[in-house]
Structure 1
């Protein structure tokens, strides 16, 4: 009996020991697995965050680099005296550049001695020498391309935050040094961006040069830091220069971190992202603490704890997958935004090339063409096609920036014609009410964009009502207009298109953001946030305004204000492209075109048709020609997009000076025209044919002759 009892006691002891040892062993194994899993998840988070930071840095540096290149082209071939003579116009151009790029503090053009010829801050620029700055010295002896400097403090009388410079060398025609073009970049811009994306505890970001100079740091440092290229960080980067991962005590503050780094394309810049190892360990300890709390009561709960751990791991992986998808969408939208800024300029150059090709073909089809000229036009087509192929490789995505195609239409009739489509779109449980005027209310706008705006507002109302309620469309003459349109109210006034729903309403805190691209209050997958931004863009480009009034639980009312046109205005049909060219019969044309290829082909084509052509490459020379003898020109034909004074500025200047000569504008793309329209001037879109050009010039000149004859 005693033996049996002793055996029972021993068995109990072994069981007690086992009840302790087994959970401890399982806990140790689970701790090791969780430790590696937590570190793997942290590494993936760091890599995804690093991708976002890298894409952002690449976009910023490429945008600034491209802007420096454009500025260099603007002043190429200009002497310092010529630049000083244009200081006011160049100052405005630099200021527009810095105003459009929040990452820029200022932009400068220096002479060979380091004196500022032009800057974006003050006009005229104070006579201060900047030859001691690194962004200047780096270019004196040789052309090194784009240089990125160290953080600097503004020099009196200039004030403000610290900056680092990005600069390019200015060369003369013989390659000698004549100055520097420089942009001052805010480190704070990068740090603010890192603060937004670094929401995790212990987040870390750094932006630095390959020689170890840190340009931006998050968390922010109050002192300049330069890492030793031969130190621990430098040695690890040397093993994998393009990108890699390391765990190291960061020399700037001594905090141990898990850090990923990546070089920014061809620039001597590295961007880094990471997490403090203490924060990663805290995640692991928090996870294991939860396991421990549930693991202590008894061995019987071990399986439940393991199941809970498995479920938690699965949730973490699912959440990580959702975050990865969201981050990919974010990177894609950022890429679309950056490319959208490029598309306008590329489209303009591409249309110039198409104009050369079209004009060459037209000229090749003319009879009795000499072999020498025929070969010249063929060579021009070949060169233009090659350059166009290079441009098209830059169009990676659609920029969503296009000039509207306005036409005159009756708003009430157009809304009525959409009733069935809107009813189908909203569903049978939503009542569609239309209050339309008996009279014709005409507007001059893009009809397709107008219909899209109505559909977007109908869908927005349908979703706000959760598929049940009433949408009311009302068209009427505006009795009052918003303050932003008060100065635009003419003799014909505005028409309002009001869309009212009985939905849930919009919180007051969100009313100011509803027209922002990609902002939406809907669940993920139920909306892109682009519908109302399309409405806003269409109305603004059409010269109108959109307002919204909403109350929680009472629905929302969107009101579109569109400029009304007289009832007697009818849509005009353009002449078909196949219509024959009209002979010039000695008609004199002043052609203003900065692209020499487009200008030469337009001049050749018009000369073949009997026009007398005077060719200039900028608006200032055009004004000088008109001032010298305005009576010798029957019509002015000008490109819109030109350095300095644009074609639209030229047209306004001609009108302001009282010069009575018809004006025809041409453009493949213009940001100003896309926003504000052609301001009533005749517009010929690029690419155009010689026949189309002759018809529009003949029409403009003939209208003037008819008007002058009536006046006599």
Structure 2
């Protein structure tokens, strides 16, 4: 007890440690999982934003591309002189086109030297040369398609907004370069759009060329007169995965995704600052900590209080245990005295009968009729003693059962007349069995004994007058359901024995299955009947239940696991037939009790058997190995010093000596737990008739040996 108390206090200490360590560990795991979830959610937000800005940029560039196509269609068949001649009208058309597109600042048409022929912004077009601009020089030597230029600022004296160009090459029918058509696009248009959709903290958007030059950006970078900034390498546009990068423009680390624009040498990007993602994660974990820290603190406080109270409880329990030990010792002695007294009383009665019969048999000139009567009395008393031992072992669940598959309904019908004789004519017996068979795998003899014990118990409760109802039903489960892995597939068969007797007081329910507990007067019962039923039910994998109401009767219900029908029906036992002669059958008898061994060999010798007696398993193995062909069967006791009879049988089987084996035992915990492993078993005490029949059962082939001159028995 003190060890258990120390263990419980140690466990409480560890629980206090765990109350801190476990929440910390759970918090770390939750933090790790939450960080991953936060990053995944941020990636989803970035991809959604990227889809939005990609669709927006694609529509803007497609609109500008259509505008350039329209301008090209207007001036395609006009020479430079015709364009200058019609400059005013063309200026109006270009201005109308640029005014309808908020993203377009102006539209221009240049000649082969880079002089503007017409402009949507200025009429007349300024006399300047723009051949140094990238949107013009890109088309001089080759057809660059829809060229996207770098972000530029207007040349003095113009001080308008910054822009980047989208231009196309003008060429004659034979492919000669004749000039450029150019549209100036406002970066502010993109940046204002990005500002509207990028309201979340840390949002980032950009429009870039393939070489990484920034065309538009949010948050906007400060523009300078120097070369345009490179935010990331051009190769970043080739990846479909989100990447974590640090911008050289503002030095901030971001999680960024990229998408190309179909047909144009630009791509868009969207992202979130990693600091913003961390802030989201920290905010989530902070909300957990608001509840987690107080809860953990309360748990630690409660455990500390529980530990202090437990220590006080153990101190008080130790004082109580000192007082209870004396009472418990007295109860144990009372129970032991009751059990010992009951066994001694019953066995003394049986031994008295045997002793008296044996003394009477010694008298001279005893008539044959009286001699046979005394012999029958001894035999019947031995049978009663064997039954008493069987009931004790059944209660202790240590008997060796011989299970077989049989129909409970058929057994109840067969035993009805016997039960009627036992309970008397003033008790009405009503039986109820189902139409379909109810098979169980149990010891049929023990089952019949259990039924008779319950019927006799009911008779005594009714004082020999009333109604006894015996019913058989199928039950899917026990009154207290078993675990799923322990429940038999077909359920249970319930045998209920109901009487109309006086009933059982509630305070006696816990004792009715105790051995030798009885409410009857001395001499009217041993108190082992219900104990046998209880032990038989438990050892057979079943249960015994009882319900009772004072003045209205009692119902005992025996539950046994239900099984499928056996292929071979059980046959009738021939235990009361005459003994079978040996006809020269050679038997090796292995028995450590010399008196028991000699009585068996002498009885077998009287029947014509050839017997050899050894008192241990090792000598038996030597006899079999040296001349195993001399013996037809081995008859061995189970409980012996050193090697047991069951181990001897297993060794004979392992050596493949090919000789039948019969086991004999009055009690063996090994047999009760493991069974006989397929060997034939004869229970002690046995009669010579039973012994001869079981020997012939395992050696069924008739032996053609010359009968011996005289019965022989030798002791080795």
TM-score by length of 1: 0.40
Which is higher, the Rg of structure 1 or of structure 2? 2
TM-score by length of 2: 0.40
